[in-house]
Structure 1
Amino acid sequence: MNARFDRIGLARFAGRGERLARIVTIASVSFGRSLLWLLAAIIVGCGVWMLLPLSKGNSAEPAKSDVAAVELAAPGDTTAVVSPILQAQAPAAAELDRLKISSQTWRRGGLGSKALVTFTLRNDNDYAVKDLEIACVFTRRDGSHLTDRSRVLSDTVTMKSRKTFARIPVGFVNVNADQAKCSLVAARRA
Structure 2
Amino acid sequence: MNARFDRIGIGRFAGSGERLARAVTIASVSFGRSLLWLLAAIIVGCGIWMLLPLSKGHSTEPVKSDVATVEPPAPSDTGMAVSPVTQAQAPASAELDRLKISSQTWRRGGLGSKALVTFTLRNDNDYAVKDLEIVCAFARRDGSHLTDRSRVLADTVNMKSRKTFARVAVGFINVNADQAKCALVAARRA
Cα separation, 2, equivalents of 1:103 and 1:29: 67
- Counterpart CA distance in 1 for 2:28 and 2:107 is 60
Q: Secondary structure at the match of 1:155?
A: strand
Is 1:137 the counterpart of 2:140? The answer is no
| 1:75 aligned partner | none
Q: Partner letter of residue 40 of structure 2?
A: A
> What is the letter of the counterpart of residue 185 of structure 1?
V
Q: Does 1:188 align with 2:188?
A: yes
Q: What is the letter of the counterpart of residue 30 of structure 2?
A: F
* 1:30 aligned residue: 29
Q: Matches of 2:148 and 2:69 in 1, distance apart?
A: 6
Tell me the matched-pair count. 162
CA deviation string 1:130-188 (max 9, x = no partner): 11111111112222211111111111111111111122111111111121111111111
**What corresponds to 2:40 in structure 1?**
41
Query: Which runs of structure 2 are paired with 1:115-126 in the superposition (5 Å)?
Result: 115-126=115-126
Percent identical pairs in the alignment equals 63
1:6 match: none
Measure, in 1, the Cα distance between the counterparts of 2:188 and 2:147: 26
Q: Distance in 1 between matches of 2:64 and 2:185?
A: 19
Q: What is the TM-score when the length of structure 2 is the normalising length?
A: 0.65
Give the superposition deviation at 1:60: 3.0
**Equivalent residue number for residue 111 of structure 2:** 111
2:58 is matched by which residue type in structure 1? A
Task: Tell whether the 8 Å contact from 1:134 to 1:150 is kept in structure 2 after alignment.
Answer: yes
Bigger mean CA offset, 128-137 vs 58-67: 58-67
> What is the Cα deviation at residue 48 of structure 1?
3.9
User: Contact 1:141–1:179 at 8 Å: present in 2 too?
Assistant: yes
The reply on whether 1:148 has 2:132 as its aligned counterpart is no
Q: In 1, distance between residues paired with 2:17 and 2:114?
A: 66
CA RMSD of aligned residues (A): 3.7
Question: CA contact under 8 A between 1:115 and 1:172: conserved in structure 2?
Answer: yes
Q: Distance in 2 between matches of 1:156 and 1:39?
A: 53
Letter in structure 2 aligned against 1:156: T
Aligned residues of 2:139 and 2:146 also touching (Cα < 8 A)? yes
Tell me the SS of whatever aligns to 2:40.
Answer: helix
| 1:43-88 per-position Cα deviation (integer Å, ceiling 9, x unaligned) | 54465466455654x9436987755578xxxxxxxx69xxxxxx76
Counterpart-to-counterpart distance in 1, 2:110 and 2:31:
46
TM-score (norm 1): 0.65
Partners of 1:152 and 1:142 in 2: CA distance: 29
Distance 2:156 2:187 in 1: 10
Q: What does residue 60 of structure 1 align with? A: 58
Aligned-partner Cα distance in 1 for 2:156–2:100:
14
Higher mean displacement: 159-168 or 17-26: 17-26
Three-state SS of the structure 1 residue aligned to 2:148 is: strand
The 1-side partners of 2:176 and 2:33 are apart by 48
